Structure 1
Amino acid sequence: MMVRRSGRYTTWRGFKDFALGKPPDEEKEKPKPEDDLSNHDEIFLKSIVESPDFGRKSEPIESEEDLVVKPVSLDNVNIIRSLSEYRGNNIRTIEQAELAILLSRIHFKALIDAHDAIGALWLQRGSGIEEPPKQDKDTAEGAETSPEENGDMPVETVKVVGLRKVPGQPLGLTVTTDEHGQLIVARILAGSAAAKQALLSIGDVLLEVDGVQVDTEEQLKEAVSKPNDRVTLKVGPNLKEKSSQLTNKLSCYMRALFDYNPKEDTLLPCKEIGLEFKKGDILQVSDRKDPNWWQASHVENPDVVGLIPSPELEERRKAYVPPEADFVHKISICGARISKKKKKFVYESRSSVQLEGAELALYEEVARTPPFLRRVLALVGTRGVGRRTLKNRMLHEHPRRFGAVVPHTSRPPRPLEENGTSYWFVSREEMERDAHAGRFLEYGEHNGHLYGTHLDSIRAVIKEGKMCILDCAPASLKLLHNSSEFLPYVVLLAAPGIEQLRNLTFASNRNLTEEDMKQTLEESARIQRQNEKYIDLVITNHNNDTSYSRIMDALHALSTDHQWVPVSWIY
């Protein structure tokens, strides 16, 4: 460190006088008892200054030049940064941990930065002290090399780093070639060997691998894949102006709405660093900087980080999927093209229809919450799968726990019908006005009269402290899902095989032809494919008793297990 050259060093002498117990010129000494605990710092300093070793080194100052201390190095900021990054598995003692914390403090870094800046000015103004020679490049990793060896590459920016390789795992970095033909580090996977050692940065230029110059990505891949436990890289920053490093690295959680196998992805730059996942998996996304590839890991195994396609890339990929006439046998595939066959539904959600009807569901941002009970249970499915049978059984066996809405209608009441028992009877003008204002979850016209489920009817059941059971159309799921008020749990009752479907329709006294049952199967597959984003549980209703037990078990788990819910329900 350096000492100021001008002035009379009043600060140093003041400290010495203070340590030796001498009062300043303008003040009188105020004695303090040494047994006072509040004065222990002064007592400690006095014990050091009065020691013989300190006395031999504190002889009277004869001249200012005796106090001149030349700087040992002017690149201390980078040294401190390297030391602060030397952490993780390398820290084994408390002293090492305390040193790492001290070196990472912003005030200490600011002090060292000020020292380097003042030292540089001091040398530029002709102090007569020569700059210390550069360290030999072979003495340590990260040493600087000579300008002759690197052409126009700045001498202070070229370094040699050594990376330890983990057997069976990739190094964890990808490269790209810029317009100058340089191999640039494009991505460093979080949690990989390269990221944990923190010796490389995005934008670094890879010059050599184990002393051999590399010019292409193939040469780099061949050099890195050699069976060695360590690889030595000569790197330097990009000669181009680096872009801003203010990237979005905030961690978030996504629910995957499609299956992904990196081994089958022809667009993935390296199959080994891809992350496989299934529909419904919860992924922790750690880096969304790249517009095409995100860095993510499974919440159950956060140490394994890989690349997943971004929504933008996957949407472009799905746009080139060959048209298919039938999706019935490809329920697990997230199709991008909706069948051209259109059917009119009795019920229609105004809000859902106004929103996009064929959005591509890829990821949904979610958050983890403590156990809680949902407010709405939505049973969806095609006709003849037993929705109303299960609904009526739940209402009958648990009347204090579940409740059903009373629908609205514009038809006049029949004899002995009471308002609010089976229906709420209102005028057609009032229903049309409320429907236009978006106050109905779903509504439609039958035999010249309007029927619909009013949102206030759902709120009334919730206010009673009950879970509202809805036997609604699939078009209503989007409105329920996007609302933080209703918090639905959606169960899809999928159609079983034709033989089981025939037994269900026979039990419900319904006569369906063979063609009707085929259409029921196709309709059930279409509902599942188009609304998989909103569905929490899929039950193939082979037996009403088994389906009823599965629904009750799922509702019980909501009150005991943590849940992953859309972030729109929380924020």
Structure 2
Amino acid sequence: MVSSSPYENNRNGVGNKTYYYNQEQLRKRKEEEERIAAQNEFLSQPLRGSRRLQALESRPQGAINDAFTEDDAHESSRSTTPGPPSEKEVVHTVYGYGDLVASVQRLQLQLKKVGSGGGLGGLEGRVAAVQSLLLSPQFGRALAVHNKVQSVRNRIAHRPTANAQVALRDCLDALGNSQSAYAVELATLLTGYELEALMVAHDGVASTLPPDSTTPLPSTTETIPQTLPDHYGADNIKIIKIEKSTEPLGATIRNDGDAVVVGRVVRGGAADKSGLLHEGDDILEVNGIEMRGKSVNAVCDILAAMEGTLTFLIVPAAAQGRGHSGRDSVLHVKAHFDYDPEDDLFIPCRELGISFQKGDVLHIISQEDPNWWQAYREGEEDQTLAGLVPSQTFQHQRESMRLAASERYPRTQRKSTTLLCGKTPKRKKKKGTYAEGGYPMYANTVDEYEPEEILTYEEVALYYPRANNKRPIVLIGPPNIGRHELRQRLMEDSERFAAAIPHTSRARKDHEVDGQDYHFITRAQFEADILSRKFVEHGEYEKAYYGTSLDAIRSVVNSGKICVLNLHPQSLKILRTSDLKPYVVFVAPPSLEKLRQKKIRCGEAFKEEELKDIIEKAREMESKYGHFFDMIIINNDTERAYHQLLGEINSLEREPQWVPAAWVKAL
């Protein structure tokens, strides 16, 4: 028998025991660290289903749950491709608020039983923080929205969804930079017109399908603490996705109490092209950010910073009795005022506003909003996004309020006398005064003192020139500005231009020819024609009537020539309501200094007060009658002004023009 040496006993006894003890400590410490790390990772992730809570609650006290670790490791090694759900697996879970709170409380109790000696002291603080979060009203609100979303998802899980176009874009993005021949061929097939049209058709049909009535509605009996209003039922909530680039979304919003409601969807924008967002829709969330309770400015700032796919959680307008149906036909209008959205405090979205000037033509493509129309400026129809302009009613109302607020003094005595007493003020006859046309200047009997008219828009339509019906050219402007010279230059081409022969009640002189110098009629006949509104303008000079009749202008037009007229601005109202379709040119003076230099250059005597009077009268004319003007010529140089006028007349015979819509409808 071989005895053991002390050395051998020490090595095989105490030494071995110490070795195994150290190994056991290391193993337990490693397992404890792995368990703590697993729990920390678990608690740091959001709750995604009842399975995780059940796993926490089912752990034995003070023991290592090796099955949980193995289960996690097994699941992490699986393929990420989702397979068909099993009978026991819940795809979309609706959480009960009370159940969540109770689960966290049970977890907190389990941790207390384990004690801080197990190294779980830090976990107790985290669970307490989670419990505090669950008890907050914000979490209750978020949970309510989550449950509503999951209810809708469960209900429509077995019906087609309108996301084929999005899936197609995702697929193309995935192919992206691949140089594989198969990838290139697949991308070519996916970008074909036929497949794209098929995806559009699919989404269009899917969006019109009714809900699948065979799919049972999930239970919504859980208690929701102070969440959404009662009318937000599960059937009302809708999820939509819109692709947004760096350009504006193309929609405006407004506050309706705490709600954020779509005010309008602007034509041409991302929202309009998607067809998913409509006026009156109540926006609950965008990309998980709650919108209710936020101001319009705050929501605009949030949306402006977002790009890519925007996921909206909305309550459709149809579910609330909001919104408009149908699209208006295009309305073409001429603006009679200047507008800059930067100066408008009432515009709902300043970035979508478009500026315009008096005389610009606007194409109104939507009048659904009573206060804000959607429009394009003439020549900018190729713009993707329409702009906002004040509606006719809204502009008229606020202009009326502005005038009422600025009216500090009553009307002048002369106006008061005309209105209250019904008496026409006496006008002094001008003796020896002649117009620039060479014939006597006579006062128009149209009431000179009319209440101020509020101008907004005028409906217009395209008029195509006709060789046998040429538009008369009317020159308007202050005296001594050169209208007569311009008219005479045009009249030099007698084959193309002609003047209207005036009427008079005075006796014919020996050298005068009736119908060539004047149309001579009796005083009684002249007065009868005045009452019949046959004269564009008329007046009395040295006890005789003079006037330019509509028939005299029409006679020139019927002869195939262009009638050139020098008229007072008051005559435009009668002329524009006729069938003659005049083209009105305002001959305006230059600045005071340039007007002075022109007079000196032409060798004309002048007084400084006369020059200032010319400029002041021109301003008054433009302010009062500017909405009648089709063209403005600044006559700083007569030769240049003549060629500018002649060029415009030439274009009238070749190109269509925007004219009052009533002129075209009457054809």
Establish whether TM, by shorter chain, passes 0.5: yes
> Which letter maps to 2:386?
V
Equivalent residue, structure 2, for 1:389: 485
2:560 to 458, 462, 465: 465
Cα deviation for residue 319 of structure 1 reads: 3.4
**Residue pairs, 1:551-566, within 5 angstroms:** 551-566=645-660
Number of equivalent positions: 458
Equivalent-residue separation in structure 1 for 2:499 and 2:601 (angstroms): 23
Contact 1:172–1:188 under 8 Å retained in 2: yes
Equivalent residue, structure 2, for 1:310: 391
Equivalent-residue separation in structure 2 for 1:238 and 1:444 (angstroms): 62
> Which letter maps to 1:94?
E
**Residue pairs, 1:97-108, within 5 angstroms:** 97=197, 100=200
Equivalent residue, structure 2, for 1:487: 581
The C-alpha deviation readout for 1:511-544, integer Å capped at 9, x for no partner, is 6543233222111111122222121211121222
Tell which deviates more after alignment, 314-323 or 290-299: 314-323
Tell which deviates more after alignment, 294-303 or 440-449: 294-303
Does residue 132 of structure 1 match 2:227? no
Cα deviation for residue 209 of structure 1 reads: 2.2
SS in 2 for 1:570: helix
2:279 to 179, 195, 202: 202
SS in 2 for 1:319: helix
Q: Considering only CA atoms, is the larger Rg found in Structure 1 or Structure 2? A: 2
1:297 to 351, 376, 381: 376
> Which letter maps to 2:324?
Q
Equivalent-residue separation in structure 1 for 2:602 and 2:255 (angstroms): 67
Equivalent residue, structure 2, for 1:213: 290
SS in 1 for 2:626: coil
**Residue pairs, 1:57-136, within 5 angstroms:** 92-97=192-197, 100=200, 131-133=214-216
> Which letter maps to 1:187?
R
Cα gap change, 1:147 to 1:535, in 2 (>3 Å): farther
SS in 2 for 1:301: coil
Equivalent residue, structure 2, for 1:549: 643
Contact 1:84–1:104 under 8 Å retained in 2: no
Cα deviation for residue 95 of structure 1 reads: 4.3
Equivalent residue, structure 1, for 2:251: 173
Contact 1:147–1:153 under 8 Å retained in 2: no
SS in 1 for 2:633: strand
The C-alpha deviation readout for 1:326-375, integer Å capped at 9, x for no partner, is xxxxxxxxxxx99999996965666x659966323332222234455642
Equivalent-residue separation in structure 1 for 2:643 and 2:371 (angstroms): 43
Gaps of 5+ in 1: 1-72, 121-130, 137-143, 326-336
Cα deviation for residue 395 of structure 1 reads: 1.3
Cα gap change, 1:74 to 1:227, in 2 (>3 Å): closer
SS in 2 for 1:231: strand
Cα gap change, 1:222 to 1:253, in 2 (>3 Å): same
Equivalent-residue separation in structure 2 for 1:75 and 1:243 (angstroms): 24
The C-alpha deviation readout for 1:32-79, integer Å capped at 9, x for no partner, is xxxxxxxxxxxxxxxxxxxxxxxxxxxxxxxxxxxxxxxxx9989x96
> Which letter maps to 1:545?
E
Contact 2:535–2:547 under 8 Å retained in 1: yes
> Which letter maps to 1:426?
I
Equivalent-residue separation in structure 1 for 2:584 and 2:558 (angstroms): 20
Equivalent residue, structure 2, for 1:430: 525
Cα gap change, 1:270 to 1:529, in 2 (>3 Å): same
Does residue 186 of structure 1 match 2:280? no
> Which letter maps to 2:586?
L
The C-alpha deviation readout for 1:384-427, integer Å capped at 9, x for no partner, is 1111222122112x111111111111111223222222111111
Cα gap change, 1:316 to 1:378, in 2 (>3 Å): same
Equivalent residue, structure 1, for 2:361: 282
Equivalent-residue separation in structure 2 for 1:309 and 1:457 (angstroms): 42
The C-alpha deviation readout for 1:105-133, integer Å capped at 9, x for no partner, is 9xx999x77xx8xx97xxxxxxxxxx235
* Coordinate RMSD, CA, aligned: 4.2
The C-alpha deviation readout for 1:210-234, integer Å capped at 9, x for no partner, is 2232223434334323344332221
Contact 2:283–2:291 under 8 Å retained in 1: yes
Equivalent-residue separation in structure 2 for 1:567 and 1:87 (angstroms): 47
Equivalent residue, structure 2, for 1:25: none
Cα deviation for residue 450 of structure 1 reads: 1.0
Equivalent-residue separation in structure 1 for 2:594 and 2:373 (angstroms): 44
Contact 2:538–2:547 under 8 Å retained in 1: yes
Contact 1:147–1:154 under 8 Å retained in 2: no
Equivalent residue, structure 2, for 1:19: none
Contact 2:163–2:203 under 8 Å retained in 1: no
SS in 2 for 1:155: coil
**Residue pairs, 1:493-532, within 5 angstroms:** 493-498=587-592, 501=595, 512-532=606-626
Cα gap change, 1:152 to 1:292, in 2 (>3 Å): closer
> Which letter maps to 1:199?
L
Contact 2:279–2:317 under 8 Å retained in 1: no
Contact 1:409–1:424 under 8 Å retained in 2: yes
Equivalent residue, structure 1, for 2:310: 231
Contact 1:385–1:504 under 8 Å retained in 2: no
Larger RCO (CA under 8 A, 6+ residues apart): 1
Tell which deviates more after alignment, 435-444 or 372-381: 372-381
Cα gap change, 1:355 to 1:237, in 2 (>3 Å): farther
Equivalent residue, structure 2, for 1:64: none
Contact 2:472–2:562 under 8 Å retained in 1: yes
1:408 to 503, 510, 524: 503
Does residue 570 of structure 1 match 2:657? no
Equivalent-residue separation in structure 2 for 1:522 and 1:354 (angstroms): 18
* TM-score, normalised by the number of residues in structure 2: 0.60
Cα deviation for residue 313 of structure 1 reads: 2.4
Equivalent-residue separation in structure 2 for 1:448 and 1:565 (angstroms): 39
Cα gap change, 1:228 to 1:394, in 2 (>3 Å): closer
The C-alpha deviation readout for 1:85-122, integer Å capped at 9, x for no partner, is 999999843144267569869xx999x77xx8xx97xx
Cα deviation for residue 240 of structure 1 reads: 7.1
